Amino acid sequence: MSIVSDILTAHLPAKRKTTPSGWTSFTAPCCIHNGETQDTKSRGGIIYEGDVISYHCFNCGYKASWQPGRNLSYKFKKLLEWLNTSDSDITKLALDVMRENEGIEVQQYKIELPEFATTQLPENSIKISDIKTFNKHNTAILEYMSARQLNLDDTDYYWSPELAFRDRLIIPFYYEKRIIGYTARTVKDNKVKYLTDSQPGFVYGLDEQSYNKVFCILCEGPIDAIHVDGCALTGSDINDQQALLLNRLNREIFVVPDRDKAGSKLVEQAIDRGWSVSLPDWEEGINDIGEAVNKYGRLYTLYSIYNSAESSPLKIRLKAKKWFI
């Protein structure tokens, strides 16, 4: 395998299949950039013949290829871009290919998909929807959920009567329908707002992303993600494995940061990844998606995020200067 095939394969959508003839088919990312409607029938195809790579879209007709000894063509770079490969990764790959062609040894690099171990929720955890006996602790959980406009049918919410968790809303982390961690948010005045058990590379909400969506809202915290049916980093940094999992969704990523110093750094990371950023015109004091939902409701919050999404690094940075106060 070549460095080109490694990078290309890493950014192919997760939903793909290989035919008996050797073609790997998936939703074509090129059609909407070439004056055609969005592909809905997995008509994009990649075939590897030795180290020769060929891409063909059977919807809009776009073609791109690469073989050893050649530099990356403009069309191949555009294919990588449409597959959500960052500008920096494309530039590095193009330089490495040039060095290889000149006989300079290049260290191969490959980002591996993370592997997550199945874990358990806190002891005696029970789904909140299954609670039969109420007390002041789990009642406080329900009151918190009501205040935050969190509905029982949004996702699986849990509660545990154990001392460390009885005043916390437990949100499981799922990956491929397995529990691989959780976060437990206090509903009382507590210096430790979250107790979290997570694994490196995890992105909250991936299991809930249907393949007919054209964009994914990415934020920092799971509760914000729940409000907009999005994904969350469970932090304010994007690592390579998280980026790989998100890019495999094969859709535009709208990053919505919290309105603080960590959020401003997240904006720069999003730009580096080639993702769009949304900085909605929320009034002063509205610092994240959850607060926006409490103020404006879910529907308007979603509209404001979509309507404010920007892909131009220059425009993002100009708006960020005013947005982060």
Q: What secondary structure, in 3-state letters, does 95-131 show?
A: HHHHHHHCCCCCCCCCCCCCCCCCCCCCCCCEEHHHC
Question: What are the residue boundaries of the structural domains of the chain, listed by start?
Answer: 3-101, 116-199, 202-325
Q: Is 234 left (phi over 0), alpha (psi -120 to 50) or beta?
A: left
Residue 233 is encoded by which pair of tokens? 């980093």
Q: Is 313 left (phi over 0), alpha (psi -120 to 50) or beta?
A: alpha
Give me the tens of pLDDT residue by residue for the chain, a chain 325 residues long: 678 888 888 888 877 888 888 899 998 999 989 888 888 888 999 999 888 999 999 999 999 999 988 999 999 999 999 988 888 888 889 988 988 888 766 555 566 788 999 999 999 999 999 999 999 999 999 999 999 999 999 999 999 999 999 999 999 999 999 999 999 999 998 889 999 999 999 999 999 887 677 889 999 999 999 999 999 999 889 988 898 899 888 788 999 999 999 999 999 999 888 889 999 999 989 999 999 999 999 999 999 999 999 989 999 999 999 999 7
Q: Is 126 left (phi over 0), alpha (psi -120 to 50) or beta?
A: beta
CATH level 2 (architecture), domain 202-325:
3-Layer(aba) Sandwich (3.40)
97 within 8 A of 73, measured Cβ to Cβ = no
